[in-house]
Structure 1
Amino acid sequence: MPEAATRVVVLLGSLRPDSLNRRIVELLDASAPAGVTIEVAEGLDQLPFYTPEIDGPDGCPAPAQALRDLVGSADRVLAVTPEFNGTMPAVLNNAIDWLSRPYGVGAITGKPFAAIGATPTRFGGKWSHDDARRSARIAGADVLEHVVVSESAVEGDILADPEVVARFVGALTALVEHRPAVAAA
């Protein structure tokens, strides 16, 4: 019997339509292992900043609910993000905030999660990726700490380098192959 398809939802930290990180997602979509589908959570810029006053028992704003539904139905979550001022972009942080609620049972709770990407800085976005993993872990995600690809895009097209491409595809493969620990009964 064939294995079920694996849905990976991507939280894209860059809003630019032609950004390097969006190109990374497109590369991953084209190179995904058989049976893996990738879907970008579009519209992160439409999410209001998280505040409990607009997230209550009667519901939350439609863009936030759409994000929660999308991530809740996914098998894996991948943040692909640059670094802004030494940390993750606000749009990514806000998305994780929405996904973390209700606390303990949010849409991201228990989801295998990894953070990768590139940025034109010396460290290639390492701090952004570290912060995204930390935030997702606190939100309840099953964070893969060993999946790290932080590429510096200072010179040339890094996606023309087969070794860099292999690292990105390897990160996706590791995320897909990860089997969450099952809690003991």
Structure 2
Amino acid sequence: MAQLTLLGLSGALRQDSTNSKLLREAARLFGECTYVEASLRLPLYDGDAESAQGIPSEVAVLAEQIASADAVVISTPEYNKGPSGVLKNALDWVSRTKDAPWKSKPVAVMSAAAGRAGGERAQMVLRGFMVPFQPRILQGPEMHLADSSNQFDDNGQLVSEFYQKTLTQLMQNLRDEIAR
């Protein structure tokens, strides 16, 4: 069997964000795969710019990464009770591309946030944003990483056995969904 490709989308732009760390830990726990972390440094969606210049190359790259991945893992921070604007902007742009790259794609959604709910509201809203794309979003276990800045060791691994177990099961479920 060919090696699986796992694509990570972090709703935070900071290189050392806890959402990016959570994606990398998810890829580690997923097991053997080619892990690619997409860049969401995209121009703001503007219909006039799209009409005049077409789909930006960065968006075309992202859409192709989604289409060619065996599965996608999305991790969102919670900003004002919702996902980041960066993530929403990326979803809006990709929705304008051809060939529906999200359709039937296995997707695991997770969140990391400073608060005690671990981004639960942002994750719920993100799941709603994904409905028009018709991916195969895993229903659980839900991964809401609370107090996220204190949850990783110096190697970027989760320190809590509870969170490790939850994320390991989510990644196993994602593997099972790919095989389905």
TM-score tier (shorter): 0.7 to 0.9
Deviations 1:46-91 (A, max 9, x none): x122234344597411111111111111111111121111000011
Name the amino acid aligned to 1:175.
L
Higher mean alpha-carbon deviation, 167-176 vs 6-15, is at 167-176
Identity %: 25
Q: Which has the higher helix share?
A: 2
Report the 3-state secondary structure (helix = DSSP H, G, I; strand = E; otherwise coil) of the residue aligned with 2:87. Answer: helix
Name the amino acid aligned to 1:177.
D
Q: Which residue of 1 aligns with 2:117?
A: 123
Deviations 1:97-120 (A, max 9, x none): 2222347x4211221112102101
Compared with structure 1, are the counterparts of its residues 29 and 60 closer, same or farther at alpha carbon in structure 2 (3 Å cutoff)? same
- Check conservation: 2:66, 2:102, Cα contact below 8 A: yes
How does 1:66-145 map onto structure 2 within 5 Å?
A: 66-102=61-97, 105-145=99-139
User: In 1, Cα distance between the equivalents of 2:119 and 2:135?
Assistant: 20
Structure-1-length-normalised TM-score? 0.82
Q: Which residue of 2 aligns with 1:162?
A: 161
- Check conservation: 2:74, 2:109, Cα contact below 8 A: yes
Structure-2-length-normalised TM-score? 0.85
Unmatched runs of 5 consecutive residues or more in structure 1? none
Higher mean alpha-carbon deviation, 4-13 vs 78-87, is at 4-13
- Over the residues paired in the alignment, what is the CA RMSD in angstroms? 2.4
Q: Which residue of 1 aligns with 2:56?
A: 61
Stretches of 4+ aligned residues off by more than 3 angstroms: 51-59
Q: Which residue of 1 aligns with 2:22?
A: 24
Report the 3-state secondary structure (helix = DSSP H, G, I; strand = E; otherwise coil) of the residue aligned with 1:160. Answer: coil
